[in-house]
Amino acid sequence: MNLINSKIRKVEIDGINEWVWPEEDEGAWEGPSESWPLFREAIIKNVDNFNICVQAGGNLGLYPRLLSQMFNFVFTYEPDFVNFEYLKINTEHAANVFAYNSALGETKGTLQLQSGPPDNFGMHKIVFENTFNTTTVPVTTIDIDHSTTGCDLIFLDIENYEYYALKGALLTIKQHKPVVIVENETTDIREFLIQLGYRTPTKITPHDSIFVHKDKLHLVASNM
């Protein structure tokens, strides 16, 4: 696919110096690039094993590319087709990133994806009805892909759809107790994870929270 109106952002983040980016976007760059040092610090402090990370939305590839330097395998999900093309370009030199042009949800099927504003490629979101400016996208679940192999970190930034993605990860969470990072923590998310044995979350940024299972608190303490 020919990605018109693209530019190279020559900004070093964790040793990566070039990013192929939409010319008109600012929002999907500014927030994640500025917040990444806080995420990295929280992950190092709270994750005890760095084998598998499940990440969504993959967006334009910044998070999965940076996570690939921390984990043996990164599985990233991005439902928007244009975003996904950028994601593939920005992770092409990371052989341990496995990218899927799909959303994460509670059940396998399809959902409606609504496009965000042109200056923020990170604001596409799942909606519950076919409204203006929507497209149909495939949906899978974390349990379908990862309940057997497990994962060490679930990292979700999917525009208020995190709760449904976590419900689709119930078996994975019960069996493997990964650390969970979510944007826009809600009462539903908090109650869901606390009932599964997670401690009260802590804030990474004003918008992002991290949950650690009580069984892993002693491991977290050893990382401090």
Q: What is the model's pLDDT at position 16?
A: 97
pLDDT tens-digit readout, 142-198: 999 999 999 999 999 999 999 999 999 999 999 999 999 999 999 999 999 999 999
- Candidates 171, 180, 165; CA nearest to 150 is 171
pLDDT bucket at 1, cuts 50 / 70 / 90: low
Tokens of 57: 């939305």
pLDDT at 224 over 70: no
pLDDT at 2 over 90: no
pLDDT at 131 over 80: no
- Candidates 138, 13, 30, 106; CA nearest to 64 is 13
pLDDT tens-digit readout, 55-106: 999 999 999 999 999 999 999 999 999 999 999 999 999 999 999 999 999 9
CATH numeric code, 6-223: 3.40.50.150
Residue-range domain boundaries for the chain: 6-223
For 111, the 3-state DSSP assignment is strand
Tokens of 127: 């909606």
pLDDT tens-digit readout, 101-130: 999 999 999 999 999 999 999 999 999 877
